């Protein structure tokens, strides 16, 4: 089982300020971590940080810190009650890039007690922060054995991933020109990343195609629909013989035929179903390529719970059906946990969410309220042009690459959203707004009952 660790850029900064105090002595902190507990990948997600005051530590030297375990008790109670994990993290101000014999002895004494108190059998973690901010970590299992944490991700305006097995390897021929542009290190990170794409139609199929050709290691594709004849004008890599087949199955077959060794998991379900939620929660990064406001809001919430960067694309084409075009525009949103949301940015509204929910749960009442003018109806069959989809999907992909390997002259924080009108030739970028106060308390919460703290998602755990 692979174990990974994710935290936000703000959490990383908080830990850095405390652990690297500038006095050359070790410091220590504790973290309560949510979990994304899968059979093959177990993700630990920083939810709450407790800084152990320097003055409370009996010993602080350049290679040793001791601390009162009384600071651990409140976190243990929360972890035991909520099925969460405990992480101990301390600094190595001298830059020693591995666990020392002193660290080994300390962890051997600490983690059996944590496992006994939590009684869940799932791993906890110990970590070290180095002077340059890099984190190394290991998981501690119930049987007493440690194992390296395979990937540590810091999610903010920029994306940082440290991999335990990040060793130099020969770049395959198909990726040489990518590596020339973005470096071999970026290619190696892409090769180790797990990425979910939710929505595999017009924009989603373009995103899937580009991710596969970049050499992303694992793709999780989520879409409940099958290919129809009307989709052939915009779903990349589909042909007439695919009509009636699941969209995710068609794209999975294409990726396998491409032969670039990307692993693919195809989920022919709606995002709200348990098997889809679990699969997306297992990923490092999520792309949302959906028109529906309910799905977009749900994915924004899921990415907050599971500390995932969320890339969202939306396209609007207003036409009269007779060849007249009023507007062609689209937006790319980047959302990171603890920041603003699609709702606080007014990208989606409460009215739209209510209408979509009513349409799903009570179609007759929905039609009645639309006819009576109480709610605005949802456009179910909007115009679609492949070139428009490809333009905005490519913009989304370049935003992803910019955050993984910054190439823009301006900092990434200035590109929280980008809106382009092809009709009037305008390009508007915006910085992030205030944090969403509703979502902020769920950062790193991870697995919960009901899922995402939404009762309507509590459909059991079956596949």
Residue 169, in any domain of the structure = no
Residue 162, in any domain of the structure = no
Inter-CA distances, 193 with 162, 175, 300, Å? 11, 15, 20
Inter-CA distances, 250 with 64, 124, 341, Å? 56, 39, 32
Residue 250, in any domain of the structure = yes
270 and 213 in one domain?
Answer: yes
Band (pLDDT 50/70/90 cuts) for residue 456 is confident
Lowest mean pLDDT among 112-121, 194-203, 348-357, 379-388: 379-388
Give the 3-state secondary structure of 71-109.
HHHHHHHHHHHHCCEEEEEEECCCCCCCCCHHHHHHHHH
Using DSSP's 3-state secondary structure scheme, residue 24 falls into: coil
140 and 202 in one domain?
Answer: no
386 and 306 in one domain?
Answer: yes
Residue 165, in any domain of the structure = no
**Triad 82, 88, 91: Cα angle to 5°:** 155
| 392 CB-side CA count, 13 A | 31
Band (pLDDT 50/70/90 cuts) for residue 463 is very low
Given 155, 190, 208, the domain boundary residue is: 155
DSSP assignment string, 380-411:
SS----HHHHHHHHHHHHHHHHHHHS---SS-
210 and 356 in one domain?
Answer: yes
Contact (CB, 8 A) for 126 and 91: no
Beta-carbon count within 10 A of 34 CB: 27
Using DSSP's 3-state secondary structure scheme, residue 196 falls into: strand
252 and 118 in one domain?
Answer: no
210 and 134 in one domain?
Answer: no
Residue 220, in any domain of the structure = yes
Residue 450, in any domain of the structure = yes
CATH code for the domain of 20? 3.40.140.10
* CA–CA distance, 417 with 431 (Å, rounded to integer): 7
Inter-CA distances, 161 with 126, 150, 248, 404, 455, Å? 18, 10, 28, 9, 33
Peptide bond just before 6 cis, omega within 30 deg: no
* CA–CA distance, 165 with 150 (Å, rounded to integer): 7
Band (pLDDT 50/70/90 cuts) for residue 180 is low
| 88-99 mean pLDDT | 97
Given 155, 187, 210, the domain boundary residue is: 155
The pLDDT score that the predictor gives to residue 250 is 97
147 and 250 in one domain?
Answer: no
The pLDDT score that the predictor gives to residue 121 is 86
* CA–CA distance, 124 with 30 (Å, rounded to integer): 11
Given 140, 155, 170, the domain boundary residue is: 155
Structure confidence by residue, pLDDT tens digits, 393-403? 999 999 999 99
Lowest mean pLDDT among 61-65, 317-321, 384-388: 317-321
What do you get for the CA distance between the two ends of the chain, in Å? 20
110 and 235 in one domain?
Answer: no
Phi (first) and psi of residue 255, to 5 degrees: -65, -40
| pTM of the shown model | 0.93
Contact (CB, 8 A) for 29 and 6: no
151 and 185 in one domain?
Answer: no
267 and 399 in one domain?
Answer: yes
360 and 314 in one domain?
Answer: yes
Instruction: Name which residue leads in pLDDT, 381 or 4.
Output: 4
Give the 3-state secondary structure of 436-452.
CCCCHHHCCCECCCCHH
Inter-CA distances, 28 with 64, 166, 265, 299, 351, Å? 10, 26, 39, 34, 47
The pLDDT score that the predictor gives to residue 316 is 86
Residue-level length of the chain: 463
Instruction: Name which residue leads in pLDDT, 141 or 176.
Output: 141
* CA–CA distance, 264 with 256 (Å, rounded to integer): 8
Residue 35 has pLDDT above 50, yes or no: yes
CATH code for the domain of 252? 3.40.50.720
* CA–CA distance, 98 with 141 (Å, rounded to integer): 19
Beta-carbon count within 10 A of 40 CB: 7
Torsion sign across C-alpha atoms 37, 43, 47, 53: positive
Q: What total number of domains does the chain contain?
A: 2
Torsion of CA 75, 76, 80, 83, to 10 degrees: 50
Residue 167, in any domain of the structure = no
Q: Label the pairing between strands 85-91 and 124-129.
A: parallel
* CA–CA distance, 368 with 381 (Å, rounded to integer): 19
Q: Which residues contact 373 (CB under 8 A, 6 or more apart)?
A: none
- Return the beta strands (E) in 156-226 as ranges: 159-163, 194-198, 218-222
Residue 163, in any domain of the structure = no
Structure confidence by residue, pLDDT tens digits, 370-381? 565 555 555 555
313 and 198 in one domain?
Answer: yes
Band (pLDDT 50/70/90 cuts) for residue 169 is low
Structural domain boundaries, residue 447:
179-457
The pLDDT score that the predictor gives to residue 178 is 66
């Amino acid at each position: 089982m692979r174990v990974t660790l994710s935290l936000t850029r703000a959490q990383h900064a908080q830990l850095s300020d405390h652990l690297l105090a500038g006095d050359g002595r070790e410091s220590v902190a504790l973290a309560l971590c949510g979990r994304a507990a899968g059979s093959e990948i177990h993700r630990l997600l920083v939810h709450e940080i407790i800084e152990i005051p320097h003055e409370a530590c009996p010993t602080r030297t350049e290679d040793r810190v001791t601390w009162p375990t009384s600071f651990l008790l409140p976190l243990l109670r929360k972890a035991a009650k909520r099925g969460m994990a405990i992480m101990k993290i301390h600094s190595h101000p001298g830059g020693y890039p591995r666990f020392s014999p002193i660290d080994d002895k300390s962890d051997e004494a600490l983690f059996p007690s944590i496992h006994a108190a939590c009684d869940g059998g799932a791993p906890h973690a110990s970590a070290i922060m180095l002077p340059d901010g890099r984190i190394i970590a290991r998981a501690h299992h119930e049987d007493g054995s440690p194992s390296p944490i395979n990937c540590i991700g810091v999610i903010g305006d920029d994306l940082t991933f440290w991999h335990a097995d990040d060793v130099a390897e020969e770049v395959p021929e198909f990726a040489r020109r990518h590596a020339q542009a973005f470096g071999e290190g970026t290619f190696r990170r892409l090769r180790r990343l797990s990425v979910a794409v939710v929505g595999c139609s017009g924009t989603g199929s373009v995103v899937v195609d580009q991710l596969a050709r970049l050499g992303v290691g694992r793709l999780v594709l989520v879409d409940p629909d099958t290919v129809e004849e009307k989709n052939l004008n915009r779903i990349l890599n589909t042909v007439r013989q695919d009509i009636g087949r699941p969209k995710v199955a068609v794209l999975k077959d294409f990726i396998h035929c491409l032969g670039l060794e990307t692993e693919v998991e195809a989920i022919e379900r709606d995002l709200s179903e348990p098997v889809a939620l679990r699969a997306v929660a297992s990923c490092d990064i999520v792309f949302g390529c959906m028109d529906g406001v309910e799905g977009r809001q749900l994915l924004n919430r899921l990415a907050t719970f599971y500390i995932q960067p969320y890339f969202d694309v939306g396209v609007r084409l207003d036409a009269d059906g007779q060849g007249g075009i009023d507007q062609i525009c689209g937006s790319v949103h980047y959302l990171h946990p603890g920041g603003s949301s699609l709702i606080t940015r007014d990208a989606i509204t409460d009215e739209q969410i209510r209408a979509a929910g009513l349409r799903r749960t009570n179609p007759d009442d929905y039609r009645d309220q639309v006819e009576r003018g109480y709610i605005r109806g949802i456009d179910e069959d909007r115009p679609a042009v492949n070139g428009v989809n490809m333009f905005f999907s490519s913009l989304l992909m370049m935003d992803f690459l910019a955050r993984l390997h910054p190439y823009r002259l301006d900092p990434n924080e200035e590109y929280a959203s980008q809106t382009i009108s092809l009709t009037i030739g305008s390009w508007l970028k915006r910085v992030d707004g205030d944090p969403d106060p509703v979502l902020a308390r769920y950062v790193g919460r991870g697995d919960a009952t009901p899922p995402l703290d939404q009762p309507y998602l509590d459909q059991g755990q079956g596949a």
